[in-house]
Amino acid sequence: GINIAGLLKETGDVTYDPGFMNTANAKSAVTFIDGDEGVLRYRGYAIEDLAKNSSFMEVAYLLIYGELPTADTLAAWEENIARHTMVHEDIKNFFGGFPRDAHPMPVLSSSVSALSTFYSDSQDPFDEEQVHISTIRLLAKVPVLASYAFKKSLGQPFMYPKNDLNYVENFLRLCFGVPAEDYEIDPDVVKALDLLLMLHADHEQNCSTSTVRLVGSAHANMFASVSAGINALYGPLHGGANEAVLNMLRRIQSEGMKPEEFMEKVKNKEDGVKLMGFGHRVYKNYDPRAKIIKSTAEEILVKLGGNDELLEIAQRLEEKALADDYFIERKLYPNVDFYTGVIYKAMGFPEKMFTVLFALGRLPGWIAQWREMIEDPETKIGRPRQIYTGHPLRTYGA
């Protein structure tokens, strides 16, 4: 059928386009997506090429500066970020105020927002040096804050970063290490997490990135803008989907439901139940990231001995969906988050941390897009119009 919401309705001098289905808010040279063909490129490089040959830190540099770094530049970039991983001791006080069962996403967004208070003299969006230092600080400190959010939920002491480790190794140790004990790094887990972060690193004008740009368009600093992006990502229709997928798979498993039975519920829109991890605003074909992640899920679960049954349920659901008219007609395919949850779970992360991992991956994209927005002379403060549907003039007391 025709998607009415997607049709532009011209009303006077404003365009009614709920969900911005057809409205571009920016010119951008960062990421290219062809949703019909299932193509994703960062700065012109195919995602498959980068997944095979690059690393998350290299891709972060590429997204932010537009070119792949030389080996020396990459080493200096990683070292610079490593040197900024320490967060002010007082930041830890913020974590004490949250309840123990607080979801780590709002804890992360609050602490990233709070971070701006520690650098209030160096966040002028039009000062290149200050933009540079904010970029480094965010990339360096967000993983530390993310690990604090995690440790807080476990009731465990926070770890200090260990800067002879690489970005992903450091983060894993911050999450799973215990003070005064050695943490054994599993190179397979490092490799898989590095890849997952890279695949999430940017996705043009999605909900959280548009949020970052909109907040930044008011010349809010990078910390405030990224914190807003984290809040947008928290939603289950966006980054929260990875957590929702695992909850769905578990539900199917624990209720002993057949994937076919679940599919019937989805198709009948029973209680608004959706096949989480399926469908995408832009991809009307297989999400190229999902393809890469699916094979990683199969490999890593063999190595880590994760929950094969959940992977099997996911694979069965996918198989059924791809052959089902409901999904075919609506062009619903697995998106990036359909298989990430089973991998994160096998790595030892609880469901609540999944979207935090997405945020960690998306961070370079948010930064690259914020910088592009600030540097673009055509940028204006984001200020959509509306179609007023309320009362005409009323008289008080009449």
Nearer to ligand ACO, 14 or 237 (CB): 237
Complex with ligand ACO: residue 165 or 266, whichever CB lies closer: 266
* Cα 261 from Cα 323, distance rounded (Å): 15
The single residue listed with the structure tokens 């610079």 is: 80
Span of 105-113, 130-138, 331-339, 360-368 interacting with ligand ACO by CB under 6 A: 331-339
Say whether residue 238 binds ligand ACO (CB under 6 A).
Answer: yes
Q: Report if residue 337 touches ligand ACO, rule: CB under 6 A.
A: yes
Number of amino acids touching ligand ACO (CB under 6 A): 19
> Which active-site residues does the annotation give?
280, 337
Which residue matches tokens 């807080």?
152
Rule CB under 6 A: say whether 219 interacts with ligand ACO.
no
In the list 216, 259, 277, 361, the residue contacting ligand ACO (rule: CB under 6 A) is 277
Residue type, 257: M
Q: What is the Cα–Cα distance from 126 to 120, expressed in whole angstroms? A: 14
Q: How far apart are CA 168 and CA 175, in angstroms?
A: 11
Instruction: Please report whether residue 332 would count as binding ligand ACO according to CB under 6 A.
Output: yes
Q: Does 135 bind ligand ACO (CB under 6 A)?
A: no
| Cα 158 to chain centroid, rounded | 24
Rule CB under 6 A: say whether 266 interacts with ligand ACO. Answer: yes
123/335 with CB nearer ligand ACO: 335
Q: Is 335 in the site for ligand ACO (CB under 6 A)?
A: yes
Candidates 50-58, 74-82, 235-243, 342-350; binding stretch for ligand ACO (CB under 6 A):
235-243
Q: Distance between CA 333 and CA 275 in Å, rounded?
A: 10
Sole binder of ligand ACO in the list 15, 330, 348, 374 (CB under 6 A) = 330
Decide: is 276 part of the binding site for ligand ACO (CB under 6 A): yes
The two tokens of residue 74 are 């990459």
Distance CA(254)–CA(232), nearest Å, equals 30
Interface residue with ligand ACO among 8, 14, 237, 302 (CB under 6 A) is 237
| CA-closest candidate to residue 280, choices 320, 236, 336, 329 | 336
- What is the gyration radius of the CA atoms in the chain, in angstroms? 22
- Report the distance separating Cα 87 and Cα 93, nearest Å: 12
Tell me how far the alpha carbon of residue 29 is from its chain's centroid.
20
Q: Among 162, 219, 281, 320, which residue interacts with ligand ACO (rule: CB under 6 A)? A: 281
Query: Residues interacting with ligand ACO, by CB under 6 A?
Result: 1, 237-239, 241, 266, 274-281, 330, 332, 335-337
